[in-house]
């Protein structure tokens, strides 16, 4: 019986040590390619090397650590999550899955287990998509789904993704070569905080994930007419911010009226030129629309776009509606979920299956490999917030279930 509480304590120490590395003192922010991101990655790389894993950084900045199988023609089973964060993030979203995976490989390396398949631990470099407003850059490269046109995407400072890759020491021309060929994938496992309230409410430490919601992300630009706050009569204004504000409430009301499967969020509103005595002439905003049901998501997207265009016309505004991200809902692998369910039950926990409203690197990976995810309870389901927290006992439960899952996987007959 392995000492899970002790291993959970080390896992927590590592999560805390990584969280202390940030672009901003006092908060947790490590976005793609920044010095803080590179410093945090270097710390994880050091732990991987201390565990005698075969470690490399690929062209998009993913950290990749391997335990090789001696078996000729062995496939690769990938365990991973992301090490980039949102802004003012919690400590666990991403790093928990990477560092829990590191613990599993450390145990296998230490006892010299002969593997029937290669094990690759992946710390993805950009799942959140904060800097270039598109997600899964790291996992898209590993799955061969990276779209070259993304290289021209620019960040807020006008730096292209290609330039950012080069600055990190990567080579955009190498991205395709860094894909793990689809034939080599045996499967994928990701442990991740639930980022929702169900496990907290149900008082259960872990759950398996049945599906991951689809996403549509849009950048909207509302343009009106800047003007003098004191002289333009109210009925003669083309106020871009008032229009954007009406859009925010429209999106909220629209999603509320569609029950609990559809969610809509306006997370960003930016006034390029703002002053208290100027009628806003331009506002740039974001829309994040999600549903586990593709038909509902597509219909909501079209209806919201039409209603937003109508409100802009009524207000004398122009609207630029720029889609920036679209991912369909994905189902996790039922066979691997069955193994994971056995591991959860063997650890003495109720087996719960949840749909993830949050996106994960398992989304692109599910296009090339059977993917399974283990959700871990987090404090009141809070995430993307410094209040994000996981109890050590739940880390221990997750380690035990994940190790049991891997043990079951190791006993499965290997494809010839």
Which spans of this chain sit near ligand HGY (rule: CB under 6 A)?
Answer: 127-128, 135, 358-359
B/e letters for 348-379, b = 16+ CB within 10 Å, e = fewer, are: ebebbebbbbbbbbbbbbbbbbbbbbbbbbbb
Other Cβ atoms closer than 10 A to 198: 15
359 binds, among Mn ion, ligand HGY, none (CB under 5 to 8 A by kind): ligand HGY
Q: What three-state secondary structure class fits 361?
A: coil
Q: How far is the CB of 91 from Mn ion (least distance, A)?
A: 12
94-113: contacts with Mn ion (CB under 5 A): 94
Q: Least distance from C-beta 297 to ligand HGY, angstroms?
A: 14
> Are 236 and 416 in contact, with CB atoms under 8 Å apart?
no
Angle at 331 between CA 330 and CA 334, to 5 degrees: 160
Nearer to ligand HGY, 22 or 139 (CB): 139
Beta carbon of residue 358, minimum distance to ligand HGY (angstroms, whole number): 4
Nearer to Mn ion, 12 or 378 (CB): 378
The residue (of 127 and 394) whose beta carbon lies closer to ligand HGY is 127
Q: How far apart are CA 174 and CA 357, in angstroms?
A: 33
Binding partner of 194, given ligand HGY, Mn ion, none, CB within 5-8 angstroms per partner class = none
Q: Which residue stretch of 88-96, 212-220, 316-324, 369-377 sits at the interface with Mn ion (rule: CB under 5 A)?
A: 88-96
From ligand HGY, Mn ion, none, which one binds at residue 135 (CB under 5 to 8 Å depending on kind)? ligand HGY
- Rounded distance between C-alpha atoms, residue 199 and residue 394, angstroms: 11
Shortest spacing between CB 245 and Mn ion, in angstroms: 27
Q: How many residues bind Mn ion (CB under 5 A)?
A: 2
- Of these partners, Mn ion, ligand HGY, none, which one is at the site of residue 224 (CB under 5 to 8 Å by kind)? none
For the bound state, the minimum distance from the C-beta of residue 86 to ligand HGY, rounded and expressed in Å, comes to 7
Q: Which of 58, 84, 93, 239 binds Mn ion (CB under 5 A)?
A: 93
H/E stretch holding 120 reads strand 118-124
Q: Which is nearer to Mn ion, 129 or 292 (CB)?
A: 129
Closest CA to 44 of 73, 25, 64, 28: 64
CB closer to ligand HGY out of 6 and 294: 294
Distance CA 348, CA 381 (A): 22
Give the nearer residue to ligand HGY in terms of CB position, either 282 or 361.
361
Minimum CB distance to ligand HGY, residue 35 (Å): 22
Q: Per-residue contact track with Mn ion, 144 to 173, x per CB under 5 A? A: ------------------------------
Burial of 213 from C-beta contacts in 10 A (0-12 / 13-18 / 19+): buried
- CB distance 109 to 151 below 8 Å: no
Nearer to Mn ion, 223 or 360 (CB): 360
By the 8 A CB rule, do 186 and 369 touch? yes
Both tokens of 266, joined, read: 């306006």
Q: Based on CB atoms, which residue is closest to ligand HGY, 34 or 85? A: 85
Asked if 361 interacts with Mn ion (CB under 5 A), we say: no
Shortest separation between residue 255's beta carbon and Mn ion, angstroms: 19
Q: Which of 403, 393, 413 is nearest to 342 (CA)?
A: 403
Distances (CA, A) of 359 to 77, 400, 410: 21, 25, 28
* Closest separation in Å from C-beta 24 to ligand HGY: 19
96 CB neighbour count, 10 Å cutoff: 27
Q: How large is the angle between the packed helices 4-19 and 392-410, nearest 10 degrees? A: 110
In this complex, which beta carbon is closest to Mn ion, that of residue 94 or of residue 138?
94
Least distance from Mn ion to the Cβ atom of residue 277, Å: 38
The residues of the shown chain that bind Mn ion, judged by CB under 5 A, are: 93-94
């Amino acid at each position: 019986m392995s000492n899970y509480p002790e291993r959970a304590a080390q896992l927590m120490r590592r999560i805390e040590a990584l969280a202390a590395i940030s672009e901003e003192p006092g908060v947790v922010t490590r976005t793609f390619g920044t010095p803080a991101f590179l410093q945090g990655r270097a710390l994880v790389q050091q732990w991987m090397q201390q565990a005698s894993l075969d470690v490399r950084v690929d062209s998009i900045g993913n950290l990749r650590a391997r335990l090789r199988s001696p078996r000729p023609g062995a496939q690769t089973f990938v365990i991973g999550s992301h090490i980039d964060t949102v802004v003012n993030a919690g400590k666990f979203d991403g790093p928990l899955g990477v560092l829990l995976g590191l613990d599993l490989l450390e145990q296998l390396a230490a006892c010299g287990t002969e593997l029937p398949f290669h094990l690759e631990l992946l710390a993805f470099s950009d799942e959140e998509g904060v800097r270039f407003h598109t997600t899964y850059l790291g996992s898209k490269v590993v799955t061969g789904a990276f779209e070259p046109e993304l290289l021209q995407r620019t960040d807020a400072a006008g730096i292209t993704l290609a330039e950012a890759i080069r600055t990190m020491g990567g080579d955009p021309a190498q991205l395709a070569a860094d894909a793990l060929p689809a034939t080599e994938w045996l499967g994928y496992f990701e442990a991740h905080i639930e980022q929702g309230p169900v496990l907290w409410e149900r008082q259960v430490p872990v759950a398996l994930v049945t599906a991951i919601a689809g996403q549509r992300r849009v950048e909207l630009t509302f343009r009106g007419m800047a003007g003098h706050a004191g002289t333009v009569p109210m009925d003669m204004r083309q106020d871009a911010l008032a229009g954007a504000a009406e859009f925010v409430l429209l999106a909220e009301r629209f999603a509320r009226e569609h029950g609990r499967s559809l969610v809509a969020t306006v997370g960003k509103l930016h006034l390029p030129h703002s002053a208290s005595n100027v009628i806003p002439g331009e506002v740039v905003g974001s829309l994040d629309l999600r549903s586990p049901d593709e038909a509902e998501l597509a219909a909501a997207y079209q209806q919201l776009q039409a209603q937003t265009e109508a409100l802009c016309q009524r207000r004398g505004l122009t609207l630029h509606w720029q889609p920036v991200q679209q991912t369909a809902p994905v189902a996790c692998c039922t066979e691997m979920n069955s193994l994971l369910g056995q591991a959860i039950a063997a650890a003495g926990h109720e087996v719960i299956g949840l749909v993830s409203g949050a996106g994960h690197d398992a989304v692109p990976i599910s296009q090339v490999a059977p993917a399974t995810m283990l959700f871990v309870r987090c404090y009141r389901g809070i995430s993307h917030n410094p209040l994000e927290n996981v109890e050590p006992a739940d880390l221990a439960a997750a380690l035990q279930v994940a190790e049991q899952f891997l043990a079951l996987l190791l006993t499965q007959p290997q494809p010839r």
